[in-house]
Amino acid sequence: MADKKKKTEHVILSVEDGSIAQELELEPGDVLVSIDGQQVEDIFDYRYLIQGECITVLIRKRDGEEWELDIEKDYDEDLGIDFGNGLMDAYRSCSNKCVFCFIDQLPKGMRETLYFKDDDSRLSFLQGNYITLTNMSDHDIDRIIMYHLEPINISFHTFNPALRRKMLNNRFAGDIFEKVDRLCEAGIELNGQIVLCKGINDGAELDYSLEAMERYIPCLKSLSVVPVGLTRFRDRLYPLEPFTKEDAEQVLSQIENAQKHFMEKYGSHIVHAGDEWYILAQREMPPEDNYDGYLQIENGVGMVRSLSDEVGEYLAQLEGDKRERKISVATGVLAYPYIRELADRISTVFPGVEVTVYKIVNRFFGERITVAGLLTGQDLKAQLEGHDLGENLLLTQHMLRSGEEVFLDDMTVSELSEALHVPVRIVGTSGRDLVEACIGK
């Protein structure tokens, strides 16, 4: 009984000023017991149950007294209660031991939260996280269907059940397809991803997956194929090899064949290659139309094309002037040639704006990690020290923890700024953000 109470009663952390909760004299430390007689498991129950215009909320005050409150409000109006935990429940950790897991490739001594492997279906809906479904019970599926939570982002990795069990090192990992069938039957929108590992789920296995995924269309709106990330901390882990230029060309050929089939049949490409494949194959990025609205941009699919097009569109709206600025931009090996080209385009419109782009090699995780989002403060500091960085150093917000000015190695933006003797400006992800940061707008 104690465990059940812990899951279904929620302590109020704070009450919003001017809210319904404040008007009802609710206070931090009070406990939400139920809404309309139903216990609240987590944030999904809470959001669903407070939607009505007339609800009954049972509160236990800190002294043990229970208040039954009949509340009349606007439909979907919030009560103004903060429980401190976005899920109103404990985060569920991953039960898999994937052969490609990035967290297993982290060095010791980093902050504890970086080592937590989440695989929580609720984070898929709330934050866009990709989940394996191996932690999901029938009850979880029932709730997704009941509340019609979508999209659900699924880490498939392969559509071969036996191979999936091997890749995830979980004897239940091949059982997810019955769950996916239930979600599709209920009309739940899905997105998927495949982390491709050389010699495991590529080649003929990738062809199989690209054929087998069709059974889930149209509920499956998109599927990204991205290469595995390999750090230098892989001692005693499954022996994985990096992809070559020839490998990338083969992968792109397979994906493009599938895209052609899906476009002819469904009017959408459905499957997309991560930007890294085009860079590795030394190919131009596809045009915007190939990305079907950039459904997988947060997964590194179409990020380069989108940024380039946005910079071009915004520059076309501006009139160049004689302003003078000298600034620097630091980015990863992967994005460097593209950021360099965009900086040149900005300087063409604003000749007095001098933008120096620095390519930062990832020595912390290893040189095979080339994305800007995994650069650390110490690598930035070591490779930028002694350079004339101008008025500002521009860094993408992808390098920082969400909502914080902290790099993966716990160095703060202010610490980096002090070490390099230059103001550091964090730039948003759009092309307009980059242009305005460069020209000082």
CATH code assigned at 24 = 2.30.42.10
pLDDT of residue 2: 36
pLDDT digits (tens, 9 = 90+) for 37-78: 888 888 778 888 888 899 999 999 989 999 999 999 898 788
Q: Which domain holds residue 179?
A: 103-301
Confidence of residue 6 (pLDDT cuts 50, 70, 90): very low
Residue 145 or 118, more confident: 145
pLDDT of residue 114: 62
Q: 267 and 330 share a domain?
A: no
Measure the CA–CA gap between 31 and 24, rounded to whole angstroms: 14
pLDDT of residue 47: 81
Out of 301, 333, 353, pick the residue that ends a domain: 301
pLDDT of residue 131: 84
pLDDT of residue 27: 92
Residue 345: count other Cβ atoms within 10 Å of its Cβ.
15
Is 318's pLDDT higher than 50? yes
CATH code assigned at 400 = 3.40.50
Q: 291 and 149 share a domain?
A: yes
Count up the domains in the chain and report the number.
Answer: 3
Q: 234 and 344 share a domain?
A: no
pLDDT digits (tens, 9 = 90+) for 325-342: 999 999 999 999 999 999
Residue 347: count other Cβ atoms within 10 Å of its Cβ.
17
CATH code assigned at 209 = 3.80.30
Q: 291 and 316 share a domain?
A: no
350 exposed, middle or buried (CB, 10 Å; 0-12, 13-18, 19+)? buried
Least confident window among 121-130, 290-299, 303-312: 121-130
Residue 89 in domain: no
Say whether 386 sits in a helix, a strand or coil.
Answer: coil
Q: 201 and 270 share a domain?
A: yes
Least confident window among 6-20, 211-225, 418-432: 6-20
Q: 120 and 64 share a domain?
A: no
Measure the CA–CA gap between 17 and 5, rounded to whole angstroms: 28
Is 86's pLDDT higher than 80? no
Q: 107 and 229 share a domain?
A: yes
Residue 96 in domain: no
Residue 143 in domain: yes
Least confident window among 7-11, 172-176, 197-201, 426-430: 7-11
Residue 91 in domain: no
Residue 90 in domain: no
Is 236's pLDDT higher than 70? yes
Both tokens assigned to 183: 């979600």
pLDDT of residue 110: 72
Q: 235 and 136 share a domain?
A: yes
User: What mean pLDDT comes out for the span 297-323?
Assistant: 94
pLDDT digits (tens, 9 = 90+) for 90-128: 655 677 788 988 878 888 877 666 655 555 555 544 555
Mean pLDDT of the chain: 90
Q: 75 and 188 share a domain?
A: no
pTM comes to: 0.82
Q: 212 and 177 share a domain?
A: yes
265 exposed, middle or buried (CB, 10 Å; 0-12, 13-18, 19+)? exposed
189, 158 in Cβ contact below 8 A?
Answer: no
pLDDT of residue 4: 38
pLDDT digits (tens, 9 = 90+) for 349-401: 999 999 999 999 999 999 999 999 999 999 999 999 999 999 999 999 999 97
In order of 36, 163, 319, 402, 416, the CA distances from 103 in angstroms are 42, 21, 47, 17, 25
pLDDT of residue 108: 80
